[in-house]
Amino acid sequence: MLFEILEQEIDWPRGYKFRDKEFQQIVRDASLGRRYADKLVSVWSNQGQEINVMVHIEIQAARDNDFPERMYVYNYRIYDKHQKPVTSLAILADEETRWHPKKFTRAQWGCSVDFRFPTVKLKRLGNDMDALLSQSNPFAMITAAHLMTQASKHDPQKRYVGKWKLTRMLYERDFTREQILNLYRFIDWLMVLPELLSKEFNTQHKEYEEDKKMPYITTAERIGREEGRQEGRQEGMLSEAREMVLEALDIKFSTIPVDMQSIINALNCIVGSDPDKLLFLCIMLSKIWAKKGLACTF
């Protein structure tokens, strides 16, 4: 849907392989800012050649001037490790209209680098929402949910209307029951509504399923999802705080002792769901480590 040329070049029947853990090892010592939802996938081309495709998904509210350089650095590190062609793709999900990086260039004394990578700006796809939703590709629904969430940031009623439109369309497409459930869970997680509107939405959704004789989601599942969403947001904040601390230590130290990583990962039993407390405790620990000869500054 997003990169049609690439889609035509891949031999899909031969399958694909995610190499996320390997990718994280490759970029582990990068000092180019925080890492986001990066993916590394190995596929086969129609010419019978195995290639590595890196999909760099950047979800942010403001431009990142280091983004093109990071794409270049990740690309050459993957190539250096595998000595195989690497295709880096960027899916930009930010809210800016004009920011659309497509290349990284550098030159000095006759030596130059000109690295260009395909990009898709999701915000531009929202200019014609009807065309986007007319596609049968499930990712079109995901993209529409993301764009509708951005557009309704300060308008709960607008979000309600958009969420109901997408939910209803799930049942009108030729999706399987599993696809409907997976897509709905994503939409429901992303397009969060205030409590009163959420209850109203669940009632309308339940009545719709009963009318269509498609009871895919039970009342217990709806309640459990509401509770799980609250817990998930808290755990997500805590996980993000742990990630920030570990990345800071990763940059400052050549290696992080395993016992220190274990301590940080286990701190949630002390701080609960409060990321500020986690950061505070980690800073105190860093000072203790510094006294033992591990120089680190926060």
Q: Which of 124, 149, 175 is the last residue of a domain?
A: 124
Are the CB atoms for 249 and 260 separated by under 8 Å?
Answer: yes
Q: Does residue 130 lie in a domain region?
A: no
Confidence of residue 296 (pLDDT cuts 50, 70, 90): very low
Q: Does residue 230 lie in a domain region?
A: no
Q: Does residue 277 lie in a domain region?
A: yes
Q: Does residue 73 lie in a domain region?
A: yes
Instruction: Give the residue from 26, 21, 34, 23 showing the smallest Cα distance to 245.
Output: 34
- Same domain? For 114 and 35 the reply is yes
Distant-in-sequence, close-in-space partners of 69: CB < 8 Å, separation ≥ 6 = 32, 104
Q: Which of 90, 124, 158 is the last residue of a domain?
A: 124
Among 45-49, 88-92, 187-191, 269-273, the minimum mean pLDDT is found in 269-273
* pLDDT beyond 70 at 262: no
- Same domain? For 169 and 113 the reply is no
- Block residue for tokens 């939910």: 167
Q: Does residue 77 lie in a domain region?
A: yes
Q: What is the mean pLDDT of the chain?
A: 75
* pLDDT beyond 80 at 156: yes
Q: What is the 3-state secondary structure (H, E, C) of the chain?
A: CCCHHHHHHECHHHCEEECHHHHHHHCCCCCCCCCCEEEEEEEEECCCCEEEEEEEEECCCCCCCCHHHHHHHHHHHHHHHHCCCEEEEEEECCCCCCCCCCEEEEEECCEEEEEECCEEEHHHHHHHHHHHHCCCCHHHHHHHHHHHHHHCCCCHHHHHHHHHHHHHHHHHCCCCHHHHHHHHHHHHHHCCCCHHHHHHHHHHHHHHHHHHCCCCCCHHHHHHHHHHHHHHHHHHHHHHHHHHHHHHHHHHCCCCCHHHHHHHHHCHHHHCCCHHHHHHHHHHHHHHHHHCCCCCCC
- Same domain? For 88 and 118 the reply is yes
Check residue 121 and give its pLDDT: 86
Distance between CA atoms of 193 and 149, rounded to whole angstroms?
10
Q: Which of 190, 217, 244 is the last residue of a domain?
A: 217
- Same domain? For 206 and 255 the reply is no
End-to-end CA gap in the chain: 43
- Same domain? For 140 and 163 the reply is yes
What is the token pair recorded at 66? 């280091």
Are the CB atoms for 126 and 93 separated by under 8 Å?
Answer: no
Compute the average pLDDT of residues 260-281.
Answer: 56
Top-confidence residue, 80 or 253: 80
- Same domain? For 117 and 77 the reply is yes
- Same domain? For 112 and 200 the reply is no
* 58: Cα within 13 Å, side-chain hemisphere: 29
pLDDT tens per residue across span 28-83:
655 554 455 577 788 888 887 777 776 665 555 567 888 899 889 888 888 888 78
- Same domain? For 149 and 40 the reply is no
Check residue 162 and give its pLDDT: 94
Check residue 160 and give its pLDDT: 95
Q: Does residue 284 lie in a domain region?
A: yes
For the whole model, what pTM was predicted?
Answer: 0.65
Check residue 210 and give its pLDDT: 84
Distance between CA atoms of 177 and 170, rounded to whole angstroms?
10
- Same domain? For 253 and 209 the reply is no
Distance between CA atoms of 50 and 16, rounded to whole angstroms?
10
* pLDDT beyond 70 at 167: yes
> Domain tally for the chain?
3
Distance between CA atoms of 239 and 258, rounded to whole angstroms?
18
**Most confident segment among 64-68, 78-82, 226-230, 289-293:** 64-68
pLDDT tens per residue across span 95-152:
888 888 999 999 999 999 999 998 888 888 878 888 888 888 888 888 899 999 989 9
Q: Does residue 157 lie in a domain region?
A: yes
Are the CB atoms for 121 and 96 separated by under 8 Å?
Answer: no
Domain range for 141: 135-217
Confidence of residue 298 (pLDDT cuts 50, 70, 90): very low
Check residue 266 and give its pLDDT: 59
* pLDDT beyond 60 at 224: no
* pLDDT beyond 80 at 227: no
Q: Does residue 105 lie in a domain region?
A: yes
